[in-house]
Amino acid sequence: MKTRRDFLTQAPLGLLGAMVAGGALAQTGENPAPGTPPPGSPGAFNTAPPAGPKLTTATFVEAEKLAQVSMTEAQRAMAVANWPTSMAALLERRTGPRKVALEEGLAPATTWFPAMGRAHVGPAHDRFAPSTVAASALPAEDEDIAFASVAQLGAWIHARKLTSTRLTKIYLARLKHFDPQLRCVITLCEDHALAQAAQADKEIAAGHYRGPLHGIPWGAKDLLDTAGIATTYGAEPFRHRMPKDDGAVTRKLNEAGAVLVAKLSLGALALNDIWFGGQTMNPWLLKEGASGSSAGPASATAAGLVAFAIGSETQGSIISPCMRCGTTGLRPTYGRVPRTGAMTLCWTMDKLGPIARSVEDTLLVLNAIRGTDPGDSASVPAHLDYDAATPIKGLKVGYFPGWMKEAPATDLDRAALDQLRALGLVPTEVSLPDWPYDDLNVLLFAEAAAAFEELTLSGAADQMRVQTPDGWPNLFRESRFLSAVDFVQADRLRRKVAKEMERVMGEVDLLLVPSLRDEMMVISNMTGQPSLTLCTGFVEVDQVRSDWAPDPSHPLPKLAKPHRVPYGITLIGRLFEEGTLGRVGRALEAKVAVAGERPPGF
């Protein structure tokens, strides 16, 4: 006797409706239609109403080339007959007739937790003890005030040597003056900023001091929601987007008393440095882009247009612009900072973090924005342990010997290892398997394409300025053809890689890596490790640099003479141990003594 699955697989499609009707008749005692399975028969695959386009075996011949699988002609014929009732129906959520909208902010049911089930990861308690900064005499020049550290600005404000209103006006004036050169501002928040500054001054005068960020002006990468202030994602289809509520980080900085002066540029939808207003430029070399995607935050901070900024990173978007612009960027552990009300590119990789002009400033900001939020299921209540006075002598700093000998490493990377040794750290060789880590980008591309599905399918992505092969519009379209099976296999590889990083980080306290080493950029963002990027010196370049794939028809312009630009290294930490990165980074920053250098002309 045939099973119901056998029957349904072989039954003519025209009988499917009759079978359903027959089931209803059986319940009323009437005779069932011929071929109707008896009551209590289980469901089966390949029984849905037919859907999708007409297929031929030639369709699968071409599809096999993308998926890199092989079928016989008989297997292709079976797939042609089976697809409309088995696989195409799985797309009904998107194609209808029963479409289901997936609202912005709705995360997948599966959440990535870097701790991989371990109950206790990171510090066992909270401790935040930054260095003490004296309220020294206020400089005579506004420029010198603008380039002061967040800690110094906070000391002046707390001592009432400087008001938030005066400081805010200094930054607003600089934003207006220098933005035509840098194109780093999407929305100037002048009225909003002056109102927040006035409120801060009123509170401080009344003895209500909220902490080191009270009255400090900052800039937000324009993917952070701000109530009543446009949040555009830097992309043409969203340039008039007006959120009703503040995002979690915006709200936390409001609670800390910080003053939002500008929504800063990002490469459209968080890729590179070109947005609907143009290209954001590097203040150290105005002929080249600032790199991305946190282009505006890095450019504005480097030029002294804000005290600090909030950037984001999915894969390099804090590290790369900080390298280019000479700023300090802290990429927190995945889950450390809530992302509610921030643009989603990749649910399991997106991270929000501070960009500043000194290491300790990034810790001051991190302490204000960390924590959990109901809107972000990946956010965790991890402790932060940072004590500036705790010695670093004896800490093991891991490095990859091969990486330090070849590009993109430079003499400055090798010098940083020697400088850490001189500070009392113990350089320790480490290694990782030679695996195809770029395979993990299946996860990034698939999640990003899902996050912007409607933009792609509606054709609105065609409005975006950059339509290159390596731009998001094309990558979103191509990602529709990625294999779901390969996605799962990449996710399994991710866990395997995370276990390897757990082993490596069990051998050392932190890693020193060339900032732009591709493998570590992918690995550390996939495993969720925190990173700290800081300027340690300068190099000379003879042509402008770009984030985009080389285009032989449009070669990058050469410079008339070599140009001096910043160069930085990156420290990678154990999960939730940003405090260790801060202590080591602060010591290295003091030793190399270049953090105070300013881009000429700003």
Tell me how far apart the alpha carbons of residues 93 and 461 are, in angstroms, rounded to a whole number: 21
State how far Cα 347 lies from the chain centre. Answer: 9
- CA dist list (Å): 359 to 144, 389, 532: 19, 14, 8
Active-site annotation holder among 169, 221, 263, 351: 221
Q: Which of 440, 425, 360, 351 is nearest to 392 (CA)?
A: 425
Tell me how far apart the alpha carbons of residues 176 and 188 are, in angstroms, rounded to a whole number: 8
* Active-site annotation holds for 221: yes
Q: Which of 497, 495, 525, 499 is nearest to 513 (CA)?
A: 525
Q: How many CB atoms neighbour CB 519 within 10 A?
A: 16
Active-site annotation holder among 293, 299, 358, 515: 293
Joined tokens for residue 227: 């109530």
Active-site annotation holder among 149, 317, 377, 524: 317
Q: Which of 227, 142, 241, 149 is nearest to 189 (CA)?
A: 227
Q: How many CB atoms neighbour CB 202 within 10 A?
A: 12
Tell me how far apart the alpha carbons of residues 435 and 306 are, in angstroms, rounded to a whole number: 41
Ramachandran angles phi, psi of 21, nearest 5° = -65, -40
- CA dist list (Å): 410 to 405, 407, 414, 568: 8, 7, 7, 10
Joined tokens for residue 261: 């002066």
Joined tokens for residue 469: 């092969």
State how far Cα 219 lies from the chain centre. Answer: 17
Q: Which of 257, 250, 130 is nearest to 579 (CA)?
A: 130
Joined tokens for residue 114: 């870097």
State how far Cα 287 lies from the chain centre. Answer: 26
Q: Please answer whether residues 344 and 442 qualify as being in contact, where contact means their C-beta atoms are separated by less than 8 angstroms.
A: no
Classified as helix, coil or strand, 78 is helix
Ramachandran angles phi, psi of 194, nearest 5° = -65, -35
Tell me how far apart the alpha carbons of residues 468 and 297 are, in angstroms, rounded to a whole number: 24
Which H helix or E strand runs over 564? Answer: strand 558-573
* Active-site annotation holds for 293: yes
- CA dist list (Å): 86 to 48, 137, 396: 6, 75, 55
In the chain, what is the straight-line distance between the N-terminal and C-terminal CA atoms, in Å?
Answer: 85
Q: How many CB atoms neighbour CB 512 within 10 A?
A: 25
Tell me how far apart the alpha carbons of residues 21 and 40 are, in angstroms, rounded to a whole number: 16
Q: Which of 128, 140, 271, 153 is nearest to 214 (CA)?
A: 153
- So which residues are the catalytic ones? 221, 293, 317
